[in-house]
Amino acid sequence: MIGMLSSAMHLMTRTMTKLLLLILLLPFAATAADEHVRLDQAPIDIRDAASLQRGAKIFVNYCLNCHSAQYMRYNRLVDIGLTDQQIRDNLMFASNKVGDTMTVAMRKADGAKWFGTAPPDLTVVARSRGPDWIYTYLRSYYRDDSTTTGWNNLVFPSVAMPHVLWELQGQQVLTVETHEGAHGKEQHRTLALASAGTLSSPEYDKLVADLVNYLVFMGEPMQITRTRMGYVVLMGLAVLFVLAYLLKKEYWKDVH
């Protein structure tokens, strides 16, 4: 009986170990499968209120026409230094109440009909995709006459969304070069600016960084507060640990 229980426990331990390894390795496998191009690091700083305000302005002007943010309320923008009146005057085009969520009038069925797929909600897109992915994606559009929209993307091939920021960035073209590599012929894909937009490349990169910064904030508006509270809680636990240790020493000092 003891031997059977021991074998069962050993089998359960091995199974749990494999499951744990699978859970730990799954995000890396998904990242490796998705990153067919090298992602650029997004210069994110959610403590930069000015950047967040610029990003919010870009979001409501260029993204909120098709994409919703149904889990984000306009009045949460007070956390980035805006007043309710500033929000009403400058950022509210789809609603009248500052306490409303950032929804759009376009129905999912219409979006699927027009674009081939319904535009996703962007409330937590920075948490699901990652800021580096979005930052690289918004800078990797290029002209492609073979697609319905006339646009394609290195990070997201056959993307359904057109390049809504093209007037700012300009139009890029794709260049494909073939080289002999360690595993045979390898293709090297690069983008080049064919016609300039209203912004220079550094200016456009800064604009995209502000937008991504806002998307990161929108995915977790309480991140800074949560982190600050976490430090306070850890400091409190450290003080309690010292007191508990001293109490233990005092209680057991006469016990041999």
Q: How far apart are CA 153 and CA 55, in angstroms?
A: 22
In the predicted model, what is the mean pLDDT of residues 8-35?
A: 49
Q: How far apart are CA 107 and CA 116, in angstroms?
A: 13
- Tell me phi and psi for residue 89, to 5 degrees: -75, -30
Distances (CA, A) of 228 to 219, 223, 224, 235: 18, 9, 6, 11
- DSSP state at residue 15: H
In the predicted model, what is the mean pLDDT of residues 230-249?
A: 91
Count CA atoms within 13 Å of residue 243 on its CB side: 6
Q: What confidence tier does 216 reach under pLDDT thresholds 50, 70, 90?
A: very high
In the predicted model, what is the mean pLDDT of residues 127-147?
A: 95
20 pLDDT higher than 60:
no
217 pLDDT higher than 50:
yes
Report the range out of 97-101, 177-181, 222-226 with the highest average pLDDT: 97-101
| CA proximity to 125, closest of 225, 223, 218 | 218
Residue type, 150: G
Q: How far apart are CA 102 and CA 123, in angstroms?
A: 9
Kindly state the tokens that stand for 213: 């910064």
Kindly state the tokens that stand for 8: 């069962």
19 pLDDT higher than 90:
no
Q: How far apart are CA 131 and CA 134, in angstroms?
A: 5
- Tell me phi and psi for residue 226, to 5 degrees: -65, -45
In the predicted model, what is the mean pLDDT of residues 227-235?
A: 90
Q: How far apart are CA 193 and CA 197, in angstroms?
A: 9
Kindly state the tokens that stand for 161: 């969304």
In the predicted model, what is the mean pLDDT of residues 179-186?
A: 70
Q: How far apart are CA 33 and CA 100, in angstroms?
A: 38
